[in-house]
Structure 1
Amino acid sequence: MTGDEIVLGALPKGITLAGEGMEKKVWNVLGHTYYMKAASGTSFAFETYDPPGTGVPPHVHPRQDEHIYVLEGVFTLYLDGAWETAGPGETVRMPMGLPHAYYNRGEAPTRGLFWVSPAGRLAELFDGLHNLQDPDEVVRLSAAHDVEFLPMGSVEGA
C-alpha cells in the first residue's frame, strides 16, 4: 500500500495487531519507530516507540489536527510557546496551526498513539522519511508534505 492509496481509500475493516503496523507498515525515522495503526483519507493513526534522547523538533501542521494518547513513559511537549509533560493515559491535543514538538527526555523509552485528521499526506511523508539520516532532507520533504518545521533556535529549550 502506498501513501497515495491510503489517502484516497476508505478505512478498511480489520484489526492491527499489537507490535505490528497495518498491512505490516513500519517506518524508522531518525531514531523513532512508527507503526501505522489505521489509515484512510479522513484519519491517520500511528504508534511511536521513542528511545531516550529522541524527539521531533517544533513544527506545524497547517491543515491537520493532531493528538497523542500516551501509552508509556513521559513526553516533554512544546505547545504553542509553553513546555509541558504528559504521561500514561493522558491525551495531548494539538489543533491545526499550533506550533508543537515532542521529546523523550527520560531514562526509559516512550510509546504513544498519535492520530491526525484529516490524514493529508502524512503516510506518504513517512514512506519518504523511512531510514533517511539527513535532518535537512527530513525538513525539505516534510515541507513538501504540509509539515512545516520552525527554524532551528527559534524555540528556547527545543
Structure 2
Amino acid sequence: MADTRPSVISRAEVPPNRRRGGDIRVLLSPRTVASTSGFMGSLTLAPGEYVTEHYHPYSEEYLYVVEGRLTITIEGNAVEVGPDQAVLVPINARHRAENRGTRTVRAVFHLGPLAPRPELGHVDTEDLANPGERQFVVGDRG
C-alpha cells in the first residue's frame, strides 16, 4: 500500500537552481516526494533576468504567473503573461522566459509526463552568458 501522508515542501527548503538563469526551485518531484507523473516548482525572475531557451522532449510545461509580468517566447512567438494567467508550453517547443518589467516575477510551473530519465527531460538551446551573474534581457539598462 502506498504512503498517503501529505508531503509538504517549503520553497525555503530548496536551494535555487541558477544554471539557466533566474531562481528556479523544484519543490515536488520524484526525488523530493516520490512523484511519478511530473514535477512542480517555482520561478522567480528579478527585473531584467531570464531563463535561457530550452525545450522538453517528453513533457508539457504549465506556467502560472502569481506576481509580475512574464514574457515567454515559444517557438519565436512572444506573449506576456500577467498575474492569475497561465500558459502552456507544448512538448518539444523551444521557449525562453524573461522579465522585461520593473517588478519581480513569481510563477509556478509544472511539467509532465516525466522523461524516462532526468537527464533526458531538458535540452538547452542557448547558453547562459555569464553563469553565476545576474542575467539581463537585451535592451535592459539595469
After TM superposition, the score normalised by the length of structure 2 is 0.71
CA contact (8 A) 2:47 2:99 kept: yes
Structure 2 residue 9 is matched with structure 1 residue 16: yes
Q: Give me the whole-angstrom Cα distance separating, in 2, the residues matched to 1:109 and 1:80.
A: 24
Q: Which residue of 2 aligns with 1:101?
A: 96
Q: Give me the whole-angstrom Cα distance separating, in 2, the residues matched to 1:49 and 1:111.
A: 5
Query: How many matched pairs?
Result: 121
Quick one: which amino acid aligns to residue 36 of structure 1?
Answer: V
CA drift of 1:90 comes to 0.6
Structure 2 residue 22 is matched with structure 1 residue 32: yes
Gaps of 5+ in 1: 1-9, 125-143
Distance 1:15 1:110, change over 3 A: same
CA drift of 1:76 comes to 0.8
CA drift of 1:148 comes to 1.8
Q: Give me the whole-angstrom Cα distance separating, in 2, the residues matched to 1:54 and 1:15.
A: 29
SS at match of 2:83: coil
Q: Give me the whole-angstrom Cα distance separating, in 2, the residues matched to 1:114 and 1:12.
A: 23
Listed one character per residue, the Cα deviations across residues 12-70 of structure 1 (whole Å, up to 9, x for unaligned) are 623334xx25xx22323055223333221211000111111111122111111101000
CA contact (8 A) 2:17 2:25 kept: no
Distance 1:147 1:28, change over 3 A: closer
SS at match of 2:17: strand
SS at match of 2:47: coil
Listed one character per residue, the Cα deviations across residues 111-154 of structure 1 (whole Å, up to 9, x for unaligned) are 000110023389x6xxxxxxxxxxxxxxxxxxx543222257xx
Structure 2 residue 26 is matched with structure 1 residue 53: no
Q: Give me the whole-angstrom Cα distance separating, in 1, the residues matched to 2:89 and 2:61.
A: 5
- Percent identical pairs in the alignment equals 23
Quick one: which amino acid aligns to residue 13 of structure 1?
Answer: P
Distance 1:11 1:60, change over 3 A: farther
Which structure has the highest helix share of the two? 1
After TM superposition, the score normalised by the length of structure 1 is 0.65
Instruction: Please give the root-mean-square deviation of Cα atoms over the aligned residues, in Å.
Output: 2.8
CA contact (8 A) 2:52 2:126 kept: no
SS at match of 1:56: strand
Q: Which residue of 2 aligns with 1:64?
A: 59
Corresponding residue to 1:120 among 92, 106, 115: 115
